[in-house]
Chain A
Amino acid sequence: MPEWLIDILITLTKIVIVEGVILTAVAYSVYAERRVSAFTQNRIGPNRVGPAGLLQPLVDVVKLLMKEDIVPAKANRLVHALAPGISILVALSTFAVIPFGDKILLAGREIKLQIADVNIGILYILALVSLGVYGVTLSGWSSNSKYSLLGGLRSSAQMISYELSMGLAVLGVILINGSFELDTIVQNQFGWKWNIILQPIGFLTFLVSAFAETNRTPFDLPEAEQELVGGYHTEYSSMKFAMFFLAEYANVIVASSVITTLYLGGWQFPYLQTFGLPDMLVSILQVLAFCGKVFLMVLFFIWVRWTIPRFRYDQLMNLGWKAMLPLALANLVLTAIILTLFKT
């Protein structure tokens, strides 16, 4: 077989495995959300289908597949179908540049545990995150319903406001590492040199912006149930609705992975190299470390959702423009000054 064909086959294998894991993780984060919310509210939650309700996500997918696909008569049919597509496309492809492990040697071949090792990884993520706003806005507009329109409008204004502080917070990490490559950034966080220690303000800003970007509580105004029914996906049913649902949780997982990669050391497992374990086991443990960190972040997202009440819209905008943006700018200036002072 020619060399390029092998490369493509390896890439395809990685894509199938990674996307499979993400889709499964999405299904089970929905389950986790329902169980955690039930636990928080002193209920039981889904526990009937399979052991401890573990088959519930599968049943939900089948149910949604068998539902009638309703397109409102006044809706713009093409855009109405396009919007969930954009949402899920963005949510599923952002993970491509995230490294989930170190290089491994398999059959004499060095394989990077990362789908695409591009040198502009961070820019790719930021670009796709800003594309995500189209799915929400277009669904809000095309449904031709007041709730959807308001949800879409709120969401677009919110997402672009917090995108600024997100981009500025990332700049701190770039300043320290001098690279857009996520692999380099993870390599530099060897041991306990995690960026959360070097960039505490940046981490905080990024975390808050990530909550706003994924439309999660306390920033879930686009679908504030009490005032907007379902928000931008009020007029969606069956699989199109499921696509928005999937995209929301995929975004939570991707946001957790990005936070892990940028600030929590990615796949780095402190002191692992000192034990003298075989290389393969070290690699596996590193992948597991990455998964564990992402899992804890997802759990944190869910925990926050069921603990903190929703912001009012003016509070949300004030926080974004008058607190997060100056804070991110201050973090950037501070990082640059400290870097200059310590330069020899």
Chain B
Amino acid sequence: MLESYIPIMLVLSFALIFAVVMINLSSLLGPSKPDKEKLSTYESGMEPIGTARERFSVKYYMVAVSFILFDLEVVFLYPWAISFINFPKAEMVYSLIVALIFIFILFVGLIYEYKKGVLKWD
């Protein structure tokens, strides 16, 4: 069973070697003449004002939180989906009803978020 993952390990190591070599290659081949202006932060030719380490809109954070919630719920649907077609008719109907209740709760959560204005960007 686990043997089928050896090719994946090989692919990942190939990609890793490729990434490491490529990223280091240009610092070997390219010139290196750093100066103060060149190493300063780009801001359309102006002197940088402040730093980028500032607070950002809380909405990104809200999106991340709701993503984790919904993604977990989607993950719970996967085991159901993979076995669904192999069930006999009676169990299929039963599992469909259970899944519909689960999806309904998921959907109510989405409506709640919508009404609370979490998904509002303006």
Residues of A within 8 A of B (CB): 8, 11-12, 14-15, 19, 64-74, 81, 84-85, 88-89, 92-93, 95-97, 115-119, 123-124, 143-150, 153, 156-157, 160-161, 163-164, 167-168, 171, 174-180, 229, 234-235, 238-240, 242-243, 313-314, 317-318, 321-322, 325-326, 329, 332-333, 336-337, 339-340, 343-344
Contact = CB atoms under 8 A, between A and B. Distances in A.
A160 B71 CA distance: 9
A69 B27 contact: yes
B64 A157 contact: yes
Contact of A68 (B30, B70, B85): B30
Given A8-B6, A11-B6, A179-B82, 5 more contacts: A15-B10, A68-B33, A69-B26, A163-B71, A314-B121
Nearest to A333: B103
A59 B13 CA distance: 27
Interface residues of B, number: 71
Given A11-B6, A65-B29, A163-B71, A329 B22 contact: no
Contact of B43 (A95, A116, A146): A146
Given A116-B7, A314-B122, A340-B93, A174 B51 contact: no
6 contacts: A92-B19, A118-B5, A124-B8, A149-B56, A229-B44, A243-B19
Interface in B7-23: 7-8, 10-12, 14-16, 18-20, 22-23
B8 A116 contact: yes
B32 A69 contact: yes
A148 B52 contact: yes
A147 B85 contact: no
B16 to A, nearest CB: 6
A318 B14 CA distance: 39
Contacts of A179: 82
Nearest to A242: B22
Contacts of B44: 229
Contacts of A326: 107, 110
B22 A68 contact: no
A144 to B, nearest CB: 5
A214 to B, nearest CB: 18
B39 to A, nearest CB: 4
Contact of A340 (B12, B14, B96): B96
A164 to B, nearest CB: 5
Contacts of A174: 78, 81-82
Contacts of B10: 8, 11-12, 15
B22 A116 contact: no
Contacts of A239: 22-23, 25-26
A94 B82 CA distance: 21
B116 interface: no
A235 B84 CA distance: 49
Contact of B71 (A12, A19, A167): A167
A118 B32 contact: no
B85 A144 contact: no
Nearest to A115: B7
Contact of A339 (B38, B42, B75, B84): B84
Given A84-B23, A178-B83, A160 B110 contact: no
Question: Which 8 pairs of residues, A with B, have the shortest CB-CB distance?
Answer: A314-B121, A239-B26, A116-B7, A238-B26, A178-B85, A92-B15, A73-B39, A85-B19
A144 B41 contact: yes
B42 A145 contact: yes
B41 A116 contact: no
A333 B38 CA distance: 56
Interface string B90-111: 0011001001100100110010
B6 to A, nearest CB: 7
Nearest to B51: A144
Given A69-B30, A81-B23, A235 B41 contact: yes
